[in-house]
Amino acid sequence: MSDAIVIRSILFADVVGFSKMPDAAYPGFMGEFLANVDRVLSDSRHTALARNTWGDAIFAVFKTASEAAHAALALQSLVSSQVWSKRFGLASTEVSLQLRIGLHAGPLYEGFDPITKSLSFMGRHANLAARIEPIAEEGHVYVSGEFAAMATLANPDEFQFDYVGQRTLPKKSGVIPVFRLS
């Protein structure tokens, strides 16, 4: 554990449709959907340094913007590759899962979390990443200008970032330029 400030890329995702799921769907969601999410976050091409969930919220920290972008796109692919309502034993009209994903990069405090007994990251930039996720359109990945710049500098031809515009973030967190990862 470094107990230091490090530059990292942060992913926050929200499962749109989760609040409409009946209790009977939770075992499938936890046992199958989140297990698949874990496989994506554990992929050696983009392994998350830290990860957590809060119900339908997914949080992950990556060493590079490229790893975070690949993980976000893999999560979107995971969601679109299945009819999850059928997997959970529900009528297809009951639940249609989509992800909203926000990505940001910046300095974070890296340290040991005594509650989870694992590596953890926190700071203002994690909070900023959490504010980008709710403004993302369903089924899309929105990123901050800092994230787009870091990913582009590292690999100029790897990702496409389309300018969405200036967006007001929730909880009086300001206005930032936002890009869509494609």
Q: Which domain covers residue 19, as residue numbers?
A: 4-181
**Is 1 a residue whose pLDDT tops 80?**
no
| Residue 43 CB-density burial (10 A; 0-12 exposed, 13-18 middle, 19+ buried) | middle
| Residue 9 CB-density burial (10 A; 0-12 exposed, 13-18 middle, 19+ buried) | buried
Q: Give the CATH number of the domain where residue 177 resides.
A: 3.30.70.1230
pLDDT band at residue 88 using 50, 70 and 90 as cut-offs: confident
Q: Which residues, at least 6 apart from 44, have a Cβ–Cβ distance to it below 8 Å?
A: none
Name the token pair of 159.
């990702």
Query: How many domains does the chain fold into?
Result: 1
pLDDT in tens, 3-44: 799 999 999 999 988 888 888 888 889 999 999 999 999 999
